[in-house]
Amino acid sequence: QVQLVESGGGLVQPGGSLRLSCAASGRITSIHYMAWHRQAPGEQRHMVAHITSGGSTNYADSVKGRFTISRNNTQNTVYLQMNSLKPEDTAVYYCSSEVVAAPHYYSMVYWGEGTLVTVSS
């Protein structure tokens, strides 16, 4: 069983910064991609940033230039540095990852439970 645990959410003023973390634990053999998604009230969940095992990144247009995704492969952790935050960034942020974990030999996608980010003055 694999668990993803997010941390770092909270209340921040417009223009401020937050850093989210997501740590994967369990009998992990390998991790393919790691990603951040968000879901605002009344809206669908959508991808914010994505990083492959090789370090290639992809961002939603709405966060390009403001958010940076990175990962620590040794610690099975992914980060999301969020700068110049706007009220429209308010959402629950979820981590996901495609993981190969014992006793399986195939990959599965796991999700964290989410962390709330509120951008408000």
Res 9: pLDDT: 96
Res 105: pLDDT: 86
Q: Could you read off the pLDDT of 20-67 as tens digits, one per residue?
A: 999 999 999 999 999 999 999 999 999 999 999 999 999 999 999 999
Q: Could you read off the pLDDT of 66-107 as tens digits, one per residue?
A: 999 999 999 999 999 999 999 999 999 999 999 999 998 899
Other Cβ atoms within 10 Å of 81 Cβ, number: 15
